Chain A
């Protein structure tokens, strides 16, 4: 419960920094990218993903409900992605351009519908109790961006 509370505070802090409408710079001690990274680290731990140190987090959000859900945008060097996708849970996943697996509606910082070329795959994890929907932005020269929508069933 304590961990959940800290996590909620973290996401709340993300919202505060992200919604700063006053024009004032956020506190120099809490850079937004660090907060996103910390929130993403919590989510990745909860989902059970194992990513290399080169992974960069562009977006992370978590929503609690009857079933919890999370959205993540992760950038990875192409060479690292080639290795990551050979290992569980990505191993065996078939990314297809015409599948359009569930990535949900666009929201602040989460706009998969604006990506033209986004092959997707759906991966069942945790004995079928959770789903990992993954879109891979193709056509980038040296890295890939992963759009991940995770949810409980």
Chain B
């Protein structure tokens, strides 16, 4: 039997029944279990303002707002999008809630003693928010290797060998990792991307400011904090051809540890901030680029993956910053956020 594990859902017999393939919750239902579901959807960051009563509690009615929230979860998770909460959907929500609000360990009394804030963007916790993952070109090594694909593979590898031909070192490295077929997770040069792509640098600053808004509301103590949502951005060719070909679109979020102290009535903040990055390197969905006069389409790049000549992989990255400031008026400068300093 499936077991619900999030602190919000544990103890609800009705939700546990749904998880065990009992009667789904659906439009028109009205019950305390629906109120818990509404709270869970709100905790995951979906709009639930219309369902909230003046006293802050959920109204427990399975209305259009909850249905839309459920549909978004289902769409994100690749489930059937019908707005009804059955076993698969409740288990997915429960899993995300556990990831977002992991069970608290014993040794954090200072952090749990005081009421903790939640802002629109950040919350207490150390888990990662859910983020989209492209399924890619299909199952790796699921088709026999053809002579034509081998010739094309060799042609692409020749391009990578010509330093001037490929648009930049990172694009070449990522392509090479794909062609070298390990499928292993690849750590990108995120510091380099932030330096080279002005808009990527902006995203780091904005993400830190969102975290800062949350941190400045924290009481004294040591706190793990994390984004409530992953956001996405895109490296445009006009900003960096290298990073455009290396990555394109990507997801990012922030997390870290904040130590807050109060001296003479002034709050001091000592923060280890991590800017996290994720992307899936793949070739699918009608993609096509021209490099060094050679048109590279997913017709054969995706085929390499399916024929076991290349393998899609996860790209991850992380930037760490140790930032200290005092009071709300002496906020860290953009340079403190963006520039790597020896520690």
The CA of A100 and the CA of B47, in the complex, are separated in Å by 18
- Judged by a CB distance under 8 angstroms, whether A152 is at the interface is yes
Q: Which 10 A/B pairs are nearest by Cβ-Cβ distance?
A: A128-B132, A67-B248, A67-B249, A102-B233, A131-B232, A66-B248, A151-B249, A151-B234, A153-B249, A129-B134
- Which residue of the partner chain A has the closest CB to B282? A66
- Judged by a CB distance under 8 angstroms, whether A37 is at the interface is no
In contact, B236 and A104 (Cβ under 8 angstroms):
yes
The CA of A105 and the CA of B197, in the complex, are separated in Å by 10
In contact, A4 and B286 (Cβ under 8 angstroms):
yes
The CA of A2 and the CA of B92, in the complex, are separated in Å by 40
25 pairs, CB–CB < 8 Å, chain A vs chain B: A63-B236, A64-B287, A65-B244, A66-B247, A66-B287, A66-B289, A68-B248, A69-B249, A92-B72, A101-B231, A102-B199, A104-B236, A105-B198, A107-B238, A124-B132, A124-B232, A127-B76, A127-B132, A151-B248, A152-B134, A152-B287, A153-B134, A153-B232, A153-B249, A153-B280
The CA of A135 and the CA of B296, in the complex, are separated in Å by 33
Contact with B along A88-102 (1 / 0, CB 8 A): 100110101000111
In contact, A67 and B75 (Cβ under 8 angstroms):
no
Q: Provided the pairs A65-B287, A92-B69 are in contact, do residues A128 and B248 lie with their beta carbons within 8 angstroms?
A: no
- Judged by a CB distance under 8 angstroms, whether B250 is at the interface is yes
A/B pair count, beta carbons within 8 Å: 112
- Judged by a CB distance under 8 angstroms, whether A57 is at the interface is no
The CA of A152 and the CA of B250, in the complex, are separated in Å by 8
In contact, A65 and B231 (Cβ under 8 angstroms):
no
Interface residues of A (CB under 8 A from B): 4, 63-69, 88, 91-92, 94, 96, 100-102, 104-105, 107, 122, 124-125, 127-131, 133, 149, 151-153
- Judged by a CB distance under 8 angstroms, whether B237 is at the interface is yes
In contact, B287 and A67 (Cβ under 8 angstroms):
yes
Instruction: Select one of A101, A105, A149 contacting B239, CB under 8 A.
Output: A105
In contact, A153 and B251 (Cβ under 8 angstroms):
yes
- Judged by a CB distance under 8 angstroms, whether B59 is at the interface is no
